[in-house]
């Protein structure tokens, strides 16, 4: 399963929002849960 997330992040004491994207790959485990196989996070400062 591939999950793609995008949104805004606000740091404590900051007025401006930072945009971010994150994509990760979830693999099922034999126990019936999921494990993160690969994670990519990008913070856009512009």
Q: How far apart are CA 33 and CA 16, in angstroms?
A: 37
Query: Per residue in 1-46, pLDDT tens?
Result: 999 999 999 989 989 899 999 999 999 999 999 999 999 999 987 6
Q: How far apart are CA 34 and CA 25, in angstroms?
A: 10
Contacts of 41 (CB under 8 A, 6+ apart): 20, 21, 22
pLDDT at 46: 66
pLDDT at 33: 97
CA 46 to chain centre: 18
**Tokens describing residue 19:** 């945009």
């Amino acid at each position: 399963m591939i999950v793609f997330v995008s949104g805004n992040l606000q740091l404590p004491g900051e007025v401006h929002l930072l945009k971010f994207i994150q994509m990760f790959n979830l693999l099922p485990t034999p126990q019936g849960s999921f494990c993160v196989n690969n994670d990519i996070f990008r913070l856009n400062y512009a």
